[in-house]
Amino acid sequence: MEKLKSIRFSMFLYVGLSLLIGQLCYMGVVAMIDNALMDLMNPRPQAIAFVAGRQISITFGSGEGAASEIINPPLFEFLRMLRTISPFIIFSVCVIIGIFLFYRRSIQKPLDALNEGIRKISAQELDFSLECDAKNELGRLCGAFDTMRRELSQAFQSLWKSEENQRNLYRAFAHDLRTPLTIIKGNNDNIELVAAKNNDWPLALQAIHLSNGAIARIETYTEQLRQLESIEDWQPDLKTTDLSVLAETIVQQATVICNQHDKDIAFSTEVHGYADLDADMLQRILDNLLINAVQYARQRIRLVLEQKDGRLCLTVSDDGPGFDPEAIKQGIAPFYSTKKAEGHTGIGLTISQKLLTKLQSTLSIDNVETGGACVGFSVPV
């Protein structure tokens, strides 16, 4: 079937049809020339033929080769010469027309479509569709070109989105730095004032304390931003892991984090066997989720670790106010936080999401039915 749709087959078909039409035209033209030649002979023969360059006139009843007088010798010779060269003229014209039609239908349309597509891509116009009804190799080339155009469009959209996210990240970072820098600037003014008057050292110490806190927040922001950038180069280090040992380690570390923040924690761990995992990276993601949970929980946190449908599922929930609709939508956006006034960077969930992307997973954000936030993920095992 592919051979029947090839350019070579189409060319042979057009040339063959051209030769067939040329043969029919030749027969018609020769018949007309022979009639004209017989009209120039007196008496007019009933048939005329040319064999090996010899003219043979036939008049039924009078025998072959009967002598006839030529009425107009110059015109007769011209028609005789025309009869000789007519096959070359007729077949050449028919073949040329056939090749021209073949080129127009099988080659020119796909080439025009490809040229137009190349022009639009050169002008960075990717929102178009390359349409070509040719069924041959050039038609398939147009289809492959259109597939490349779609993939290129998706790649550019992803790149543009990435650049936009990067710009948003820098804008958020610059916005968050403005507050601690303002605090430092104002406190430095107070320190200069106290130093000039030398009569209110408690105010100076308080200003220095606030400045140190602002500096610590700036250091936290820059360190979080550095971690966020370095994640792009990170690759999972999968190792065979005993899931029961992993669960025990998770429970111990989660208990430490919750105790540091005076929060209670309940566990549900139902895992067994072995799996190829990056346990350190899972622990890092879990730390981010727990730190985020203890900031919002009133008193209690629940951690669930289970195996389901060939995946290791981990969920952290709390009894806090839960996510509002905007937080569910923007929760993993860089530097998004509802507690920025309290010094939270709002980048923990962003880092967790980027790490999970490397593990072929994603972060889910929702609220539990009884109130409170619920954040989880699952990785293949």
Digit-coded pLDDT (tens) for 95-142: 888 888 887 777 777 788 778 888 887 777 777 777 776 666 777 777
Does 144 or 28 have the greater pLDDT score? 28
Residue 159, pLDDT > 80, answer no
Residue 239, pLDDT > 80, answer yes
DSSP code of 340?
G
User: What H or E segment, with its residue span, contains residue 308?
Assistant: strand 300-308
Q: What count of other Cβ atoms lies within 10 Å of the Cβ of residue 197?
A: 10
- For residue 174, the model assigns a pLDDT of 57
| Percent of residues, the chain, with pLDDT higher than 70 | 68
- For residue 323, the model assigns a pLDDT of 82
Average pLDDT over residues 76-86: 86
The distance between the two most distant Cα atoms of the chain, rounded to a whole number of Å, is 151
Reduced to 3 states (helix: H, G, I; strand: E, B; else coil), residue 68 is coil
- For residue 233, the model assigns a pLDDT of 62
Task: Give the whole-angstrom CA distance, residue 97 versus residue 90.
Answer: 11
Domains (range + CATH), the chain: 3-125 (no CATH), 159-232 (1.10.287), 236-380 (3.30.565.10)
DSSP code of 363?
-
Residue from 217, 296, 294 nearest 259 by CA: 294
Please give the distance of CA 310 from its chain centroid, rounded to a whole number.
29
Task: Give the whole-angstrom CA distance, residue 165 versus residue 168.
Answer: 5
- For residue 14, the model assigns a pLDDT of 81
Task: Give the whole-angstrom CA distance, residue 142 versus residue 131.
Answer: 8
- For residue 213, the model assigns a pLDDT of 62
- For residue 300, the model assigns a pLDDT of 92
Task: Give the whole-angstrom CA distance, residue 20 versus residue 23.
Answer: 5
Number of H helices, E strands in the chain: 9, 12
- For residue 353, the model assigns a pLDDT of 80
| Confidence band, pLDDT 50/70/90 cuts, at residue 301 | very high
232 residue type, one letter = E
Residue 297, pLDDT > 70, answer yes
Q: What count of other Cβ atoms lies within 10 Å of the Cβ of residue 173?
A: 19
Average pLDDT over residues 282-303: 86
| Confidence band, pLDDT 50/70/90 cuts, at residue 207 | low
* DSSP letter for each residue of 191-240: HHHHHHH---HHHHHHHHHHHHHHHHHHHHHHHHHHHHHHGGG-----EE
Does 208 or 277 have the greater pLDDT score? 277
Strands of the 63-64 sheet, one edge to the other: 47-51, 54-59, 63-64
User: What H or E segment, with its residue span, contains residue 305?
Assistant: strand 300-308
Task: Give the whole-angstrom CA distance, residue 286 versus residue 313.
Answer: 12
Locate 324 and state its tokens: 């509002």
Residue 1, pLDDT > 50, answer no
Task: Give the whole-angstrom CA distance, residue 211 versus residue 355.
Answer: 33
Task: Give the whole-angstrom CA distance, residue 240 versus residue 307.
Answer: 16
Pure H helices in 261-347 = 279-296, 325-330
Q: Beta strands 63-64 and 54-59: pairing type?
A: antiparallel
Task: Give the whole-angstrom CA distance, residue 137 versus residue 110.
Answer: 10
Average pLDDT over residues 159-172: 67
- For residue 9, the model assigns a pLDDT of 75
| pLDDT tens string 11-67 | 788 888 888 888 898 889 888 988 888 888 888 887 777 766 666 666 655 444 445
Please give the distance of CA 189 from its chain centroid, rounded to a whole number.
54
pTM over 0.75: no
Residue 157, pLDDT > 70, answer yes
